[in-house]
Structure 1
Amino acid sequence: MKRRTKAALGAASVLTGMYAANKLIYKNTPKLESVLDGDKKYFNTKYGQTFYVKNGDGEPLIFVHGLASGMSSFMWRKNFEELAKHFTVYAIDLPGFGKSDKKAIIYKPYMYIDVLRTFAKDVVGEPAYVISSGQSSAYIFQLEYENPGMFKKIVTVCPTGIFELSSPPALNQKLLSFSLRTPIIGTFAYNVMVSKPSIKYFLKRKTYYNKENASAYVINQYSKASKQNKSLSKYAPASFLGGYLNYSIIGILPYINSPTLIIWGENAKINTINNLKSFIDLNPKITYNIIDNSGYLPQEEHPAEFNGICKNFLLTSNDS
């Protein structure tokens, strides 16, 4: 009996410590501010207030970030203003990320497809160009498949949906996601996962080719973005890690007729360049550029080259 009592007291003590640590972490997390220059606005969706920035003049161009922990429109900070010289640019923070609202739900692809559809139709209001990254690219392809001509041209950075992040959630992924969604313990585990040392390790080892890109400034920004709205911040990343945001485009990619350019970092580790061929095989009309000495985020590592490639592709007439 005494052993059980001691065990119970020990467990309670651990939980109390975790709860206190979580509370302190969120108390010390500064409010996230967008570093993009432009009009900062929100629009309503069934998943809450969704943040975006608008700048420039000309035909509309939408930037859509990837879905990993800490992601937001921040990833376009080296591209947004340059492209605003030629387009009316929009950069969105998807629900569950950045400055947008977050909910205690399992996020699913149809939710983001719905939000992007609403954004394109109700906020932008006309056919647009789009630049997307990673998993969001699969949702862009789905929207173009459903609504041909919604996107005049598509640029995707290290896209997924064929081999990478295309399968239904596996049991171990579901268990991981469930664990992270649990109160106190799951929240504590998530906070460890998105601590500055963890973010630094991931950015240096998995994301960037040049480790110097994982500066204190960048790490701080990812750290802040991953902890907004307190424990609600964990649900979108938990959905991602659980495989719930995986989406296959194998059946639709051959039918995409909108001019499409894929940009891939030659040294990407998360989603390697070996996957590029599968996109071309399914749709030979797709063109591509490979950026040397670059990892998963070539738009950050070589912004001048990336911006030049995008401008050349987007501003060139289809008849040229």
Structure 2
Amino acid sequence: EHYARSRRVYALDLPGFGFSDRSPRDYTPRMYTDAVLDMVAEIAHDGQDAPVDALALSLSSEFLARAAAEQPDLFGSIALITPTGFGKREQFYGPIGSTRGSTLVRQLFDVPLWSRPYFDLLSSKPSIRYFLKKTFGSYEAIDAGLAQYDHISAHQPDAQHAPYAFISGLLFSADIDRIYEALDIPTWLAYGPKIEFSRFDDLGNVAGRPNWSITQFATGGLPQFEALAAFTAAYDTFLVQAAISRLA
């Protein structure tokens, strides 16, 4: 909403979430990367043929990074908000296209007898608040509107399929360090240390790269909710620097 007042903004519902198709199928990093690239193609068809400035949150940062690594000319810059794949003990240099997941675990989740009932427990209001607390860093910081939307969205038909791929680890790339290090376009990493799911105590493989900028906010994992003014100011500065670097 903030940037829609000054520039054309597109918001993508990834497959299996929001208003996208949620049917049972194989949800993979390849599918999500292609969804990002398809969206960029649609933006071009809409008359916006300049390279896009794209922003992604959490795990979707891996999909955006892969898309930008594969087709960098489509992107003016990318912003990765609380991205996955970083941490002191995490090193992901697996075979290209490999994941950290288990198809057996996914198959167990898909057993009809308990597939939907178990997901309904995972997506109950208390459970959603518990996981949002780990994201925001405290119950007090939780955005009430986000919690309400999460509950409504999770109780739509077929809502369990993509989340089960997530829980099974099949959406997490085992080669993501290779992807992050392959990026050569302006890249902004923004995070808040209060999040309990992710760690950012080892950014050495990207911190020294000239195309990477890193900003830490005094927030949880969603700085755009908790510190909008500071977040947009930092992002605006990054976008200006990115534009200058493209002209150099």
For normalisation by structure 2, the TM-score amounts to 0.85
Residue by residue over 1:127-179, the C-alpha shift from the partner in whole angstroms, topping out at 9 and shown as x without a partner, is 20011111111121211221122110111111123566957345xx5444223
Matched, 1:147 2:71: yes
1:129 aligned partner, one-letter code: D
1:102 partnered with 2:8? no
For the Cα contact (< 8 Å) 1:148–1:258, is it kept in 2? yes
What does the per-residue CA deviation read over 1:58-92, in whole Å, with 9 as the maximum and x for residues that have no partner? xxxxxxxxxxxxxxxxxxxxxxx211233211111
Aligned mates of 1:147, 1:272 — CA distance in 2:
28
The amino acid of 2:71's aligned partner reads N
CA distance in 1, matches of 2:140, 2:204: 30
Contact 2:185 2:211 in 1 (8 A): no
Counterpart secondary structure, 1:211: coil
Residue 258 in structure 1 maps to residue 185 in structure 2: yes
- Aligned position for 1:78: none
Query: What residue in structure 2 maps to residue 315 of structure 1?
Result: 240
Contact 2:40–2:52 at 8 Å: present in 1 too? yes
| Structure 1: segments with no counterpart, 5+ residues | 1-80
Aligned 8 A contact 2:53 2:76 in 1: yes
Q: CA deviation at 1:115?
A: 1.2
Which residue matches 2:108? 179
**Equivalent residue of 2:54, what SS?**
strand
What is the SS of the residue equivalent to 1:263? strand
Counterpart selection for 1:305 from 212, 230, 234? 230
Q: 2:104 and 2:202 mapped to 1: Cα distance?
A: 27
Contact 2:181 2:205 in 1 (8 A): no
Quote the Cα distance in structure 1 between the aligned partners of 2:207 and 2:186: 13
Where does 1:87-166 land on structure 2 (aligned, <5 Å)? 87-125=7-45, 126=49, 127-161=51-85
Could you tell me whether the CA contact under 8 Å between 2:56 and 2:80 is conserved in 1?
yes
Q: Pick 1 or 2: higher relative contact order, CA cutoff 8 A, min separation 6.
A: 2
Give the letter for the 1:298 counterpart. Answer: P
CA offset at residue 275 of structure 1? 4.0
Using the aligned pairs only, state the percent identity: 28
Q: How does 1:255-294 map to 2 (within 5 A)?
A: 255-280=182-207, 283-292=209-218, 294=219
Structure whose alpha-carbon radius of gyration is higher: 1
| Structure 2 residue corresponding to 1:244, chosen from 158, 163, 170 | 170
The alignment covers a number of residue pairs equal to 233
Correspondent of 1:191 among 107, 120, 135: 120
Please tell me whether the aligned partners of residues 83 and 311 of structure 1 are also in contact (alpha carbons under 8 angstroms).
no
Please provide the CA RMSD for this pair: 2.2
Q: Relative to structure 1, is the Cα distance of residues 210 and 161 closer, same or farther in structure 2, using a 3 angstrom cutoff?
A: closer
Distance 1:136 1:215, change over 3 A: closer
Aligned to 1:5: none
Question: Does the Cα contact within 8 Å between 2:137 and 2:195 map onto a contact in 1?
Answer: yes
2-structure distance, mates of 1:215, 1:146: 35
Instruction: Provide the secondary structure at the position in 1 that maps to 2:67.
Output: helix
Check if 1:84 corresponds to 2:18. no
Structure 2 gap ranges (5+)? none
Instruction: Return the letter of the residue paired with 2:155.
Output: K
Q: What residue is the counterpart of 2:154 in the other structure?
A: 226
Distance of 1:215 and 1:148 partners within structure 2: 34
Letter in 1 for 2:142: A
Deviation at 1:284, TM superposition (A): 4.8
SS in 2 for 1:130: strand
